[in-house]
Structure 1
């Protein structure tokens, strides 16, 4: 089966649509271009065009990623940071993205999530309840000092 091939112009238009639909990071765009069979010089040319035309902006991607994962998935800053690092986002852009999350809203969401999860835990043993709640919150990327303080506050 022959792989479909693209001209530079076709690939550029296709990637403009790909980036316009949703903010993307450079790593995703490069992978998409490689999957399309583009050669390295074409990839560099297209990436430069996308950046110049503001289709591709890592700072904007990081900010919308952080907002979305916090607001929709209720992730903590640790998990958001890890996911952005996995996507090869710079430390500066990660810090900028985390500023998108207001501290008061962050703590409010954390409190609500912890209380909601505690209601769902059916375990009777206090130590096991504490462990289940802590593991859940830590997995979602909430800071350990917040998690352990909250677990001790909610389960006595």
Structure 2
């Protein structure tokens, strides 16, 4: 925020005063932003934990606790992605190994952890 205000022509004094007031009124709170960001990305866009962490790191937020992630929701999102992608890929009648590789790449790109992906793939493809 400091860089944006300075680049828009505000003085150092005005910038610091604005930031101080925002902090005082709790407008600049990384924790609230992180909670909201994680909730939105998990529920609306159905991203996995790793993709959310990468995006927050890209935005300059590095301290992200594991307790902020809803594991049940993540598992539900993983299962939903898996079902949708499996239905699309199965139509092409491929061998199981190729199918597993495609599904793994897709789910990993969506940000899900390797262990969760392997467990879900084993459960779905062995049935």
- TM-score bracket relative to the smaller structure: 0.7 to 0.9
Q: Number of aligned residue pairs: give it.
A: 124
Return closer, same or farther for 1:79/1:36 CA change in 2, 3 Å cut-off.
same
Map Cα deviations across residues 12-38 of structure 1 (whole Å, 9 max, x no partner): xxxxxxxxxxxxxxxxx3454245233
Question: Does the alignment pair 1:146 with 2:116?
Answer: yes
**Structure 1 unaligned regions, length at least 5:** 1-28
In structure 1, the partner of 2:47 is: 75
Question: Does the alignment pair 1:64 with 2:32?
Answer: no
**Structure 2 unaligned regions, length at least 5:** none
Q: CA deviation at 1:82?
A: 1.5
Question: Does the alignment pair 1:108 with 2:108?
Answer: no
> Which has the bigger relative contact order, CA under 8 A and spacing at least 6?
2
Contact 2:42 2:73 in 1 (8 A): no
Q: CA deviation at 1:99?
A: 3.1
TM-score scaled by structure 2? Answer: 0.81
Return closer, same or farther for 1:30/1:116 CA change in 2, 3 Å cut-off.
farther
| Aligned CA-pair RMSD | 2.2
In structure 1, the partner of 2:95 is: 125
